[in-house]
Structure 1
Amino acid sequence: MEINGKKVVVIGGASGMGRASAELLAAKGASVAILDREGSDGKEVADGLDGSFYTVDVTDFEGTEQTLAAAVEALGGLHVVVTTAGGGIGERTLGKAGPHSLDTFRKTIDLNLVASFNISRLAASHMAKNEPEDEERGVIINTASIAAFEGQIGQVAYTAAKAGIAGMCLTMARDLGSLGIRALAIAPSLFATGLTKGIPDEFADALTKDAAFPKRLGRPEEYAKLVAAIVDNPMLNGQCLRLDAGQRFAPK
């Protein structure tokens, strides 16, 4: 799908990989709306892209539906959605204090997996209304993690959520194929965003020592480049793409 002239929504676009994706797609001629939490830098980022900003709590599923609808109406359509909002907690299945909290497990699943599916299903409904371009109507890109495949000790909730995102790709692509809508996910390793942004070099080196090359944290713009490549190449569909410098997480 040609990026220029398309309507894009980036969830979590106020910072990190979401911001880099919004900036790159806008630079390539897309109209971009950023959805992110209240108190984020979303307004300033959107203003810099001549785009729009909407506050959203992705775990408020009805509110997300209303906010996405408003963003799509203002854009005049929707061709691409990128979801990067998420997070997790560190807790073992059975720890010294007892079994893993069921409440925190559910919250992690809601934040990462259910929210991503909710946005995907709603985005597909909007994309289905598009006039096709070379039989294509839209692209859905969710964010998984290599923890989906090699979850570390204490990541059981996060692993379950990200594995769900990875696992949805092929089935969702099959569900939406007749409409000309593609569905994929990106599984990054450790990137310089959030808590890892600005950490000392020696700590970053320790975290990435198992990578093949390059042995460093990923850069948000490298995630954005893959987003753009996915949108641009219609033969990419139904899969979760690792973006990890050949790294495999050790148990801890």
Structure 2
Amino acid sequence: MKPTDLGAIVTGGGSGLGEATARMLAARGAKVGVLDLDRAKADAVAADIGGVALGCDVTDAQGAEAAIAEAASALGGIRILVNCAGVGVAARILGRDGPMPLADFETVIRINLIGTFNMMRLAAAQMADLDPLEDGSRGAIVNTASVAATDGQIGQSAYAASKGGIVSLALPAAREFARIGVRVNTVAPGIFFTPLLYNIPEEARGRLAESIPFPSRLGDPSEFADAVLFIIENAYLNGEVIRLDGAVRLPPK
């Protein structure tokens, strides 16, 4: 599936991996809806790439449904969904001050896992009503997990659990959506230079880079976007989880 002239939504499209993906899709001729909780960031990216800005909380069932409907109308239908919206909380299950607050765990699960599922179900419903393309496909969905799904470190329990759930979604969703011609795949990135790392001292970023076998550097968001493009364009890739990590395996802490 070539993205040219196709409607595409990127959640978390106002920054980081989502922004890089939105820019890549626009450069490839897609009609891009930049969806972000921070409407100002969505506006800035959309204005720069000629896309449509959508302010939305991916965990809000009604708000997300309205955003999908608005995007479908503005973009002439949605053929591509890339879920990049997510958060991370560093906290031990049992820390010095006692157990992790349950609300912290719930927040990460809700945004990362439930938010991904929410957008996927709504986009798939919209894709199912579209006419099939020449190859019989109606759309492609790409979700974002993390190497933490399998290599979760101490203090990453909530994040690892949420990303593990996203990994587990790929195959059953791909099997279910086969009847409507929609593929579902997942990228599990390693350590990328995104806003989550902007505030880390340069020395600490250097140590992170040294831990990556090759190339020994942080991933560039454009490389994530390239992987998403490959997934969208390769019609035989379905139900898969692709690690994009320079061969890193995270240590316990």
Give ranges in structure 2 of 5+ residues lacking alignment. none
CA distance in 2, matches of 1:192, 1:88: 15
1:231 paired with 2:232, answer: yes
Asked whether the 8 Å contact 1:56–1:67 carries over to 2, the reply is: yes
How far the C-alpha of 1:199 sits from its partner, in A, is 4.8
Aligned to 2:141, the other structure's residue is in SS state: strand
CA distance in 2, matches of 1:50, 1:14: 14
Q: CA RMSD in A?
A: 1.3
CA distance in 1, matches of 2:217, 2:26: 27
CA distance in 1, matches of 2:235, 2:201: 40
CA distance in 1, matches of 2:39, 2:122: 25
TM-score by length of 2: 0.96
How far the C-alpha of 1:152 sits from its partner, in A, is 0.5
How far the C-alpha of 1:136 sits from its partner, in A, is 0.7
1:181 aligns to what? 182
1:74 paired with 2:74, answer: yes
CA distance in 1, matches of 2:62, 2:77: 20
CA offsets 1:171-200 (integer angstroms, 9 cap, x no match):
100010111100011111111111313755
Give ranges in structure 1 of 5+ residues lacking alignment. none
CA offsets 1:67-98 (integer angstroms, 9 cap, x no match):
12111111110100011110121111212222
Identity of paired residues, percent?
A: 44
How far the C-alpha of 1:37 sits from its partner, in A, is 1.8
1:210 aligns to what? 211
1:37 aligns to what? 37
Aligned to 1:238, the other structure's residue is in SS state: coil
Worse-superposed segment, 27-36 or 85-94: 85-94
TM-score by length of 1: 0.96
Seen in structure 2, the aligned counterparts of structure 1 residues 149 and 38 have a Cα distance that, compared at 3 Å, is: same
Asked whether the 8 Å contact 1:34–1:54 carries over to 2, the reply is: yes
1:114 aligns to what? 114
Pairs aligned (count) = 252
1:195-206 paired onto structure 2 within 5 Å: 195-197=196-198, 199-206=200-207
2:12 aligns to what? 12
